[in-house]
Structure 1
Amino acid sequence: MTNTQASQTSHGNLRYERGLAKLQEIDGEGGVKVVESLADIAPDFARLLIEFPFGDVYSRPGLDLRSREIAVVAALTAMGNAAPQLKVHIQGALNVGVTRTEVIEIIMQMAVYAGFPAALNGISAAREVFAADDKKSAQSLAEPRALAEEAI
């Protein structure tokens, strides 16, 4: 291996490690599942997905994660054709401190620039994310109760 190849490999690994850490900080399990789903068919794409957006862009100092996720939810809503990605980033926005009310307001704002159909699709995606989040929260609350009841 030449010095240039070693440097690229080392640099690539740092980008990947930084990106994976940032992805986990934002999306937790959800983001990792997306990457894992690509491993058998497009592992290079999965690596690029970690290195570029999360290792390079999300890791920049100019904006906090909350602001970045607000921008991503707005952009994906405006696109109108990226529901799976929008759902992941709505959850990511919630994970980094954006409230449900703010998510809905962001999506409603996009109706002005991207049209009502895109905003309606975004609201539908938000509804699904909120419902899944509520279900997960209810299960988390029920587990300690069930354990306490078993102990009695």
Structure 2
Amino acid sequence: MTNKRPEFEGERFEKGLRIRRQVLGDAYVDRSIAAADDVSAPLQKLITEWCWGEIWSRPGLERRMRSVLNLGMTMALNRSAEFRLHVRGALNNGLTREEIVEIILQGAIYCGVPASLDAMRSARAVFAELDEEADAG
């Protein structure tokens, strides 16, 4: 997908966009970029360049480990929409469903039962969506 916004250009943006697509998938990234308007475009630029282009590209941690961290942090913050997104990313980065469930169980002790219940609901919903997509496709 090509977006004609001038702020969505440059080497750092392209690097981040490539990694963001690899982890989260083209469909999600395309929707995020296409939905950017004058208000939200600066945030999309920041996320793509710094989160994905700078942090996710660093050599110190493998993407798999970054996914583990993101699942734990989004669970702890009780950010279910981001948790769901990062369940998909974690699967794309090589985690198994069983490992994701174990992360949620670990988080139940450190983040609390309400956070773990919400995370488990989110993970199950993503697993079901992926199963439906696989059956349809």
Give the structure-1-normalised TM-score.
Answer: 0.80
Residues 23 and 32, structure 1, Cα contact 8 Å, conserved in 2: no
Alignment partner of 1:133 is 2:135: no
Q: Is the counterpart of residue 62 in structure 1 residue 64 in structure 2?
A: no
8 Å Cα contact 1:27-1:88 kept in structure 2: yes
Aligned counterparts of 1:60 and 1:90: Cα–Cα separation in 2: 21
Q: Deviations over 1:43-74 (max 9, x none)?
A: 11111110110001000001111110111011
Q: 1:83 aligns with which of 80, 84, 88?
A: 80
Unmatched tracts of structure 1, length 5 or more: 1-11, 141-152
> 2:17: which partner in 1?
20
Percent identity between the two aligned chains: 33
The count of corresponding residues between Structure 1 and Structure 2 is 129
Comparing 41-50 with 99-108, greater Cα deviation is found at 41-50
- Structure 1's consecutive aligned runs of 4 or more residues displaced over 4 angstroms after TM superposition are none
CA pair 69-91 structure 1, distance change in 2 beyond 3 A = same
Match for 1:119: what amino acid? S
1:123 maps to which of 120, 123, 131: 120
More RCO (CA 8 Å, sep 6+): 2
- Offset of residue 36 of structure 1: 2.9
Structure-2 separation of matches of 1:105 and 1:71: 13
Secondary structure, in 3 states, of the residue corresponding to 1:38?
Answer: coil
Distance 1:73 1:35, change over 3 A: farther
Partner of 1:150: none
**Equivalent pair of 1:77/1:86 in contact (CA under 8 Å):** yes
Superposition deviation, residue 15 in structure 1: 1.2
Q: Give the TM-score of the pair, scaled to structure 2.
A: 0.88
For the 8 Å contact 1:19–1:56, the answer to whether it is kept is: yes
Quick one: which amino acid aligns to residue 57 of structure 1?
Answer: I
Cα contact 1:90–1:126 (8 A) shared by 2:
yes
Q: Which amino acid aligns with 1:34?
A: S
